[in-house]
Amino acid sequence: MTTATPAATPATPVVLATILPLSLPSGYEVPAAFHDSAKKAWKTASTKLGGLIAQHPDRFPLYTEEGKWVVDGEAWTNWCEGFLGGQLWMLSYRAAEAERAGFRSAAEHYSELIEERKSDDTVHDLGFLFWSTYRRWFEATGDTAKRDVLVDAGRTTAGRYREAGRYMPSFRQPDSLFIDIMMNIHLALYAAQQTGEPDLAAKAVDHCLTTRRYLVRGDGSASHEGMFDLETGAFLKQTTQQGFSDDGSWARGQAWALYGFGTVYRFTGDRRFLETAIAAADFYIEKTGERLVPPNDWDEPTPARPYETSAAAAAAGGMWQLAGLVQDRTKAKIYADYALAIILRLTEDDFLAGPDEAWAGVLKHGSYHEGKDLGVDESVMWGDYWFLDTVDQIQHFNEAQRSR
């Protein structure tokens, strides 16, 4: 059934002057077991990232093959360079004190290598590249030149907007909308926040509302892709590029939805986006339960591989964020506990590579693209990034609690 494009939103979308802070329930405590898990994670990351940049300088691998980083392998698109720099930025703070300066120098270098991508309008992934790198650089230094790179990348993101359909298309083709873009769209909101340009905010909010209407189903599950009529902008159908079926539930896309809509809520204060993030999180928990780590798609009857750790890592980050946004103390505790349970599970030996192990990545059993057989049951750069980023966020919360 073809659905007409919704009418234009009459009011100018609001971008908050500062993003909403995360505020977990008063008295919430991180379990003692997390301390050892975090220590273990950073030790592994220091060894693996140090080895990567020494063995493959100035390269940006996406995935491993048999545990070794592939530097000239096939890629579906060019979207991952920021995750290496982002991990190096975290290690400049979390690594052993003697290693921090070296990681800081490497973080700056690998960030500089991708600066030219700020004007790349052929992809929808600039948030992945720059939020993980230049945002950290700006926060560490206050250097407005680094903020300007973020703003330029946000303008590029907004520049992909299509009036017919009211969305930013995926890199694949102009009639394609990906759920992945929800993890990048806040870059346009950030640019609007920093510049006061309402057009940037309007386009970003339009995109989010279109995604919410056509890609998020009534049960909270998310479709990977939606297709639109290029002339009229009418929505045509849900499809998938990486899930089991068009009406299935690709786990990493679900994580993009729950994390991305939560982030957009932090920038706008629009509770519709918070409600969508909650629905996406509840679906993830319902489908995954005590397993914590999902397969590539929950609707695959007999998954060839039982785990997709990059989906779990991103979902943990989205759950932790959501725990700091919902006002219901019970739900907040559910999300925080679930995020922590995922992280504790991922630091067990069957998922986290040992520092002295030959495996080159941090987190095992992730997948890039099962349909194309790329980086399947391997380490993937974004899985390592979101795993460490969530560990880092939980540590910041724990440290702030202890300093009070």
The segments of the chain whose pLDDT lies below 50 read 1-10
pLDDT of 11 reads 57
Alpha carbon of 81 to those of 21, 115, 130, 366: distances in Å?
28, 10, 9, 17
| Cβ–Cβ under 8 Å, residues 294 and 284 | yes
The upper half-sphere exposure of residue 178, i.e. CA atoms within 13 Å in the direction of its Cβ, equals 22
272, two tokens: 């519709």
225-228 and 235-239 beta bridge pairing: antiparallel
Residue range 195-231, pLDDT digits in tens: 999 999 999 999 999 999 999 999 999 999 999 999 9
Closest CA relative to residue 352, chosen from 376, 383, 311: 383
Closest CA relative to residue 243, chosen from 235, 256, 253, 255: 253
119, two tokens: 């004007």
**How far is it, in rounded angstroms, from Cα 244 to Cα 254?**
13
